[in-house]
Amino acid sequence: MCSHRQNRNLEINRRDLMKAAAMGLAGAAGGSSWLPGLGQALAASKKQQRHCIVLWMTGGPTQTDTFDMKPNHANGGQFKEIQTAATGLRFSENMPKLAKIADQMAVVRSLSTREGDHDRGTYLMHTGHRPGGPIKYPTLGSILSKEIGDETSALPSFVSIGTSGAFNQRAYQPGFLGPRFARLRVGENRETRNAAQLEDTNAYAALGVDDLQPPATVTSAQVGQRVDLLRGLQDRFVKRHAVDATVVHNTAVQRAIRLMRSEASSAFDLSDESDSVREAYGRGRFGQGCLMARRLVERGVGVVEVSLGDFGRWDTHQNNFPVVKQLSEELDAGWSMLMSDLQDRSLLDSTTIIWIGEFGRTPRINGNAGRDHFPRAWSCVLAGGGIKGGGAYGRTDAGGTTVEEDQCSEGGVLATLCKALKIDPDKQNISELGRPIRLAEGEAVEKLLS
């Protein structure tokens, strides 16, 4: 049984301060925010060499059209199911590449949660806690990066790709862990595209980190002068005001400078990859995000979150089937290539992947050919390091409306993820109110662990 134990944005914006203090060290760019996330240094030791990739499906993915199909029921919908590499495990016909590696994946078909609102569900599945109350719970990436991040690296321990914070910004924050464990957010950086690419709607998604490079009008000598000035100002300020906030802020600025000057920053430059590889991952933000996730894991980043369906594309209250077909094809290309590349680089055994959203969708098709919110019986998928692939855990009834076997909570899933990463889910952090909080308020599913 997968049981559940009951139980303001801290991603502070340093860009304005950095620009003012450095007199223009970093130029303005749109689409993503990097300095706020770089206050997260000093993560846990890299001794375990573990990594986690969270594939977040914004809007709530439909289990009935992906991993828990009901082909012989009125709720089944338009898609056929196909056999996979795992005996008895069937996926949607829209995911043939994932079907070929299903022996490395474990489908949880008995997830049952209590939040059917986007805002509340997003918070629940990112933190393991229902929203409300005085405690600001940290997001999953912050929790995990504190345990498996590398404090010696110029790269941050937690990178969030294409995740804007849709529906609930608080769900993506480090909470009581503080800005030291905030995410570095990577978005679509239009400044990396030339005029022709901006007109080409079929061009590769231009993912990038804002302000990673200084403006072309600023010479390297000028950058050095401004960095020295900034450091002097920062050091004097910290000596005079040595409180936690200023120390953390100074650490963040130093990490930002170190990243700008480091060869490790090349991890964000996807132009280093061949066109054939980029094409195989898929041209969109998710496919290119999966490619970037692989590059980051190669360089030791602990946690990477990649979103698919930002702005709620999985929220298919109408026209479910054409939308889900397109999303499933993007998922199939990006995720399958990610696992293949990790395998080829001997990284899959040390990298655990979780596919999940804020809730599932109704098995019953509504009058607009759509599916509505449904937290009562839905699915998530675990794969890679620490996971026993090739099967399904739990079962829903013939129509997919009720969990019939091995009901699992959000706490159980998060505890299982922790154990797959060799993290003790019962380990505690201390909240801002002085209360001990377990990393995951649930019992791990041992059957899913290798």
Residue 244 DSSP class: H
Domain count, the chain: 1
List CB contacts of 313: < 8 A, sequence separation 6 or more: 58, 59, 323, 327
Exposure b/e, 213-249, CB count within 10 A at least 16 = b: bbeeebeeeebeebbeebbeebeeeeeeeeeeeeebb
pLDDT the model gives residue 233: 82
pLDDT the model gives residue 340: 98
What is the distance, to the nearest Å, from the Cα of residue 12 to the centroid of all Cα atoms in its chain?
A: 19
Across the 450 residues of the chain, what is the mean pLDDT of every consecutive 10-residue run?
46 38 37 40 51 98 99 96 97 99 99 98 98 96 96 90 85 93 84 50 82 75 81 78 67 72 86 96 97 97 95 95 98 99 98 99 98 99 98 98 98 98 98 96 97
Place of tokens 């993912």: 207
Structural domain includes residue 132? yes
Place of tokens 């400078």: 257
Residue 372 tokens read as 């509505």
d(CA 274, CA 157): 26
Write down the pTM of the prediction. Answer: 0.85
Structural domain includes residue 4? no
Structural domain includes residue 388? yes
pLDDT the model gives residue 198: 45
The domain that holds 184 is classified in CATH as: 3.40.720
What is the distance, to the nearest Å, from the Cα of residue 442 to the centroid of all Cα atoms in its chain?
A: 21
Specify whether the CB–CB gap between 299 and 154 falls below 8 A: no
pLDDT the model gives residue 3: 54
- For 120, the domain range is 15-448
Structural domain includes residue 237? yes
Structural domain includes residue 1? no
pLDDT the model gives residue 271: 93
Structural domain includes residue 7? no
Structural domain includes residue 59? yes
Exposure b/e, 381-410, CB count within 10 A at least 16 = b: bbbbbbbbbbbbbbebeeebbebeebbbbb
Residue 49 tokens read as 């060499």
Structural domain includes residue 191? yes
Q: Is 85 helix (H, G, I), strand (E, B) or coil?
A: coil
d(CA 172, CA 157): 15
